[in-house]
């Protein structure tokens, strides 16, 4: 298992192409660029914690393939206990970073592909699962950070991949030969891509036979020939080039360092291809990945919310109103909402079941309900934090003003709260609240792992509404079959 330093050193060996604000960075500059360094640090912590005896039970596990001790982020879930420990691990790391640490997407992609390639081989007689197991051993042995790459730009959402005016708006195969395939297109919103080693390409939707070239899954180094990354902007990201206070979370940054990854005729050898044209399994892969990923959010966002709650409570104490009844009530509500998020993630894990491959899969209904809660409750948690934090979180002068020899004394004097607390400490907490409850963090909570509508589609499909109707009819003493037949007849009459 790598240490954090070994992980960072390994990133420096890549020949990666990353553009930031229109400028191509030198490969050796990527790790230390102010926009990127925080994301590198948060991911590095997932490596260091695996060597800490205090967190060994959460962070490490024995590989079911080799029997070796590995970082849990490279593991395939073998039990309900594995699923539960994953959520507990994510909450613990989030409490330490206050932000995204980016390894979850690849973790979920590994598990989804493990289960789906097994079922694909069983039905179609392909050899994808054996290929994938060899790749997984490589990932585990080298403690590889994998970026999950599912989301395509999509173009005109009313059209299928093969119907787009520009065929590259979904990643697709443009050539096959005896050595491998060539793919082209782009992946959008790619969390942690520029500080990963490899990416796992997956289809972003269920495919029809006409979309065969788009039903592709494969592993690609992030610095492979033909790959380039355009780093995304974040709220107040230029502050990362300034003082530490104004960044709020200077060490770990905010969210996951997303980018647009462009694939210009990228060659992939067959041993790293795990789906190529098997359209009937594309939808299953999307569903498995989505549910594994939605499992995470009560864990990671629960941990992030723990930090937000703590920051709001500290701000109240530093400002002198921490003991006010209405403040205590708001903090208790934030705690209630946070534990609600966490409960759903634990529940979908505890209700997990083995797949045909033997690997365990979450309860998909509870996973989608839990993620949908995140798209709503985070906003209320952050609203309450901003309420408690006060207007200073939005209008505070800069660190440069505090350090200025002429006006710094005024910032020091007038931004003071409780007289025994240094003004700088209060400013740091105010910036942390601003950072953690601002635009980028909320957008990621809303759209990460799929927009709210995506979860609605899943839990509408999985909730067994007909069973709920029958329960009500039985209790009311109404014959369910008679009602069903009458409604069907009425529907036919309308047609």
**89 shares a domain with 21:** yes
Q: Pick the catalytic residue from 114, 297, 342, 361.
A: 297
Q: Is 209 part of the annotated catalytic residue set?
A: no
Instruction: Identify the pLDDT of residue 444.
Output: 61
Helices (H), 3-98: 4-12, 37-48, 56-59, 80-97
**471 shares a domain with 431:** no
State the helix-helix crossing angle for 282-295 and 297-319, rounded to 10 degrees.
30
pTM of the model: 0.89
H/E element holding 342? helix 325-350
* pLDDT per 10-residue tile (average), the chain, 495 residues: 98 97 94 96 98 97 98 98 98 95 97 98 98 98 98 96 97 98 97 97 96 98 98 89 89 90 98 98 97 96 94 92 92 94 97 98 96 93 90 90 97 95 93 81 60 74 79 79 86 75
Instruction: Identify the pLDDT of residue 33.
Output: 96
Structure-token match 């999307």, residue found: 286
Domain-embedded: residue 238: yes
Q: Is 459 part of the annotated catalytic residue set?
A: no
Q: Is 258 part of the annotated catalytic residue set?
A: yes
Domain-embedded: residue 289: no
Domain-embedded: residue 288: no
User: How far lies 71's CA from each of 74, 340, 354, in Å?
Assistant: 6, 28, 21
Instruction: Identify the pLDDT of residue 447.
Output: 53
Instruction: Identify the pLDDT of residue 471.
Output: 76
Domain-embedded: residue 245: yes
Q: Is 444 part of the annotated catalytic residue set?
A: yes
Q: Is 291 part of the annotated catalytic residue set?
A: no
Instruction: Identify the pLDDT of residue 495.
Output: 60
Q: Pick the catalytic residue from 46, 77, 100, 129.
A: 100
Tell me the C-alpha distance between 484 and 465, whole Å: 13
* CATH number of the CATH domain containing 316: 1.20.140.10
**175 shares a domain with 49:** yes
Domain-embedded: residue 287: no
Q: Pick the catalytic residue from 46, 191, 375, 440.
A: 191
Residue 202: helix, strand or coil by DSSP?
coil
Total tally of structural domains belonging to the chain = 3
Instruction: Identify the pLDDT of residue 164.
Output: 97
E-assigned strand segments in 238-386: 259-269, 273-276, 353-354, 360-361
46-73 residues labelled b (16+ CB within 10 A) or e (exposed)? bbbbbeeeebeebbbbebbeeeeebbbb
Phi–psi pair at 454, nearest 5 degrees:
-65, -40
Domain-embedded: residue 328: yes
State the helix-helix crossing angle for 37-48 and 80-97, rounded to 10 degrees.
130
Which among 282, 306, 330 is the end of a domain?
282
Question: What is the token pair recorded at 308?
Answer: 């937000």
Tell me the C-alpha distance between 7 and 15, whole Å: 15
Question: What is the token pair recorded at 436?
Answer: 């953690």
* CATH number of the CATH domain containing 56: 2.40.110.10
**481 shares a domain with 348:** no
**140 shares a domain with 258:** yes
Question: What is the token pair recorded at 86?
Answer: 């994953």
Q: Pick the catalytic residue from 33, 104, 115, 372.
A: 104
Residue 175: helix, strand or coil by DSSP?
strand
Which among 257, 282, 307 is the end of a domain?
282
Structure-token match 């083995």, residue found: 354
Question: What is the token pair recorded at 169?
Answer: 């708006």
Q: Is 293 part of the annotated catalytic residue set?
A: yes
Tell me the C-alpha distance between 268 and 172, whole Å: 12
Q: Pick the catalytic residue from 119, 258, 278, 434.
A: 258
**229 shares a domain with 194:** yes
Q: Is 204 part of the annotated catalytic residue set?
A: no
Does 191 count as an annotated binding residue? yes
Q: Is 55 part of the annotated catalytic residue set?
A: no
**375 shares a domain with 272:** no
Domain of residue 75 covers 4-282
User: How far lies 466's CA from each of 200, 204, 339, 369, 470, in Å?
Assistant: 38, 30, 30, 18, 6
């Amino acid at each position: 298992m790598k240490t954090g330093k070994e992980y960072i050193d390994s990133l420096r060996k890549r020949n990666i192409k990353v553009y930031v604000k229109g400028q191509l960075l030198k490969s050796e500059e990527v790790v230390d660029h102010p926009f990127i360094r925080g994301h590198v640090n948060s991911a590095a912590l997932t490596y260091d914690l695996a060597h800490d005896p205090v967190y060994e039970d959460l962070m490490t596990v024995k590989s079911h393939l080799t029997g070796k001790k590995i970082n849990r982020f490279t593991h395939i879930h073998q039990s309900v206990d594995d699923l539960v420990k994953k959520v507990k691990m994510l909450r613990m790391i989030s409490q330490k970073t206050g932000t995204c640490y980016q390894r979850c997407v690849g973790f979920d992609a590994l598990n989804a592909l493990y289960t789906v390639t097994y079922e694909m081989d069983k039905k179609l007689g392909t050899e994808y699962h054996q290929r994938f197991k060899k790749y997984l051993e490589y990932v585990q042995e080298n403690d590889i950070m994998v970026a999950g790459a599912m989301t395509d730009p999509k173009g005109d959402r009313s059209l299928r991949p093969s119907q787009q005016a520009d065929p590259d708006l979904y990643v697709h195969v443009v050539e096959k030969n005896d050595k491998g395939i060539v793919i082209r297109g782009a992946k959008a919103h790619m969390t942690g891509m520029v500080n990963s080693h490899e990416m796992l390409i997956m289809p972003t939707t269920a495919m029809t036979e006409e979309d065969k070239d788009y039903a592709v899954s494969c592993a690609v180094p992030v610095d492979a020939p033909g790959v380039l990354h355009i780093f995304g902007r974040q709220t107040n990201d230029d502050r990362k080039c300034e003082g530490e206070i104004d960044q709020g979370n200077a060490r770990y940054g905010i969210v996951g360092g997303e980018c647009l990854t462009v694939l210009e005729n990228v060659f992939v050898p067959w041993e790293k291809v795990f789906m190529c044209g098997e359209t009937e399994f594309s939808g299953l892969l999307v569903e498995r990945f989505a549910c594994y990923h939605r499992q995470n959010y009560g864990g990671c966002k629960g941990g992030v919310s723990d930090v937000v709650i703590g920051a709001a409570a500290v701000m109240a104490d530093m400002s002198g109103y921490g003991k006010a009844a209405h403040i205590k009530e708001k903090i208790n509500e934030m705690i209630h909402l946070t534990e609600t998020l966490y409960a759903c993630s634990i529940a979908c894990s505890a209700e997990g079941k083995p797949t045909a491959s033997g690997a365990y899969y979450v309860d998909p209904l509870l996973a989608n309900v839990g993620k949908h809660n995140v798209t709503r409750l985070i906003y209320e948690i952050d609203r309450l934090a901003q309420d408690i934090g006060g207007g200073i979180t939005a209008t505070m002068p800069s660190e440069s003003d505090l350090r200025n020899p002429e006006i710094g004394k005024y910032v020091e004097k007038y931004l003071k709260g409780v007289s025994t607390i240094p003004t700088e400490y209060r400013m740091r907490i105010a910036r942390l609240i601003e950072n953690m409850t601002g635009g980028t963090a909320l957008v990621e909570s809303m759209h990460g792992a799929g927009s709210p509508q995506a979860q609605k589609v899943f839990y509408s499909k999985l909730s067994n509404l007909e069973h709920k109707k029958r329960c009500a009819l039985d209790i009311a003493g109404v014959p369910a079959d008679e009602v069903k037949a009458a409604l069907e007849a009425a529907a036919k009459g309308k047609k």
